[in-house]
């Protein structure tokens, strides 16, 4: 029970951090000359972080699953 409450709190903090980081990005880059550059600079890292993470996991696992991952005694048997 105790662990669950802790996790809930941690996720609360996480959500706050996510929102704050986006807002801070918008704030810091508010002086960018064009609207496109502003939006791009402000949230690029957030988007890249999420998409990059998903891509790395999915692509790596696919490569491993279909090609590189073998049973543990592979080298003994080959």
Partner 1 sequence: MIAWLHPGLIFIFGALLIPVLKGRWQKTYMLLLPIVALIDLTFMSEGAFWSFPVSEYMLTFGRVDKLSLIFAYVFAIASFCMTLYALHVKENGQHVAAFLYVGSALGVVFAGDLFSLYLFWEIMAFSSLFLIWYRKTRASSEAGFRYIMVHLFGGICLLAGIIMYVQSTGSIAFSIFDWGLGWSHMASYFILLGFLINAAVPPLHAWLADAYPEATVTGAVFLTAFTTKTAVYVLIRGFPHVELLIWLGAAMAIYGVVFAVLANDARRLLAYSIISQGGYMLVGIGIGTTMAINGSIAHAFCCVLYMALLFMGAGAVLEMTGRSKFTELGGLYKYMPSIFALYMIGAFAISGLPLFSGFISKTMVVESAAHMHLPIIWLMLEGAAIGTFLVAGLKLPYLTWFARKDPVVEAKEPPKNMLAAMGVTAFLCIFIGVYPQALYGMLPYPVEYAPYAAAHVIGMSQLLLFTFVGFWLLRRMLHGTPTITLDTDWFYRIGGKKFIWFCEQPLVTVTEGIDKGLKKIADSIVWFSRNPATSSKILAAKAIVAMTGSTVMRTLKPGYIQYEQDLEKLKNMHVEEPVPRVAIGTGILLVLMMFTLYLVVYLTHGVLWI
Under the rule (CB under 8 A), what is the footprint of partner 1? Answer: 14, 17-18, 21-22, 24-25, 28-29, 41, 43-54, 56-61, 63-64, 67-72, 74-75, 78
Residue 30 contacts residue 38 (beta carbons within 8 Å):
yes
Give min distance, CB of 38 to partner 1, in A: 12
List all residues 6 or more positions away from 43 whose beta carbon is below 8 Å from its beta carbon.
22, 25, 26
Give min distance, CB of 46 to partner 1, in A: 4
Give min distance, CB of 68 to partner 1, in A: 5
Positive or negative: CA dihedral 67, 73, 77, 78 = positive
């Amino acid at each position: 029970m105790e662990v669950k409450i802790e996790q809930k709190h941690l996720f609360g903090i996480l959500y706050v951090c996510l929102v704050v980081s986006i807002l801070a990005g918008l704030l810091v880059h508010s002086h960018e000359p064009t609207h496109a550059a502003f939006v791009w600079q402000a949230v690029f890292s957030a988007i890249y972080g999420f998409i990059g993470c998903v891509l790395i996991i999915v692509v790596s696992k696919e490569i491993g699953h279909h090609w590189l991952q073998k049973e543990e005694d592979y080298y003994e048997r080959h």
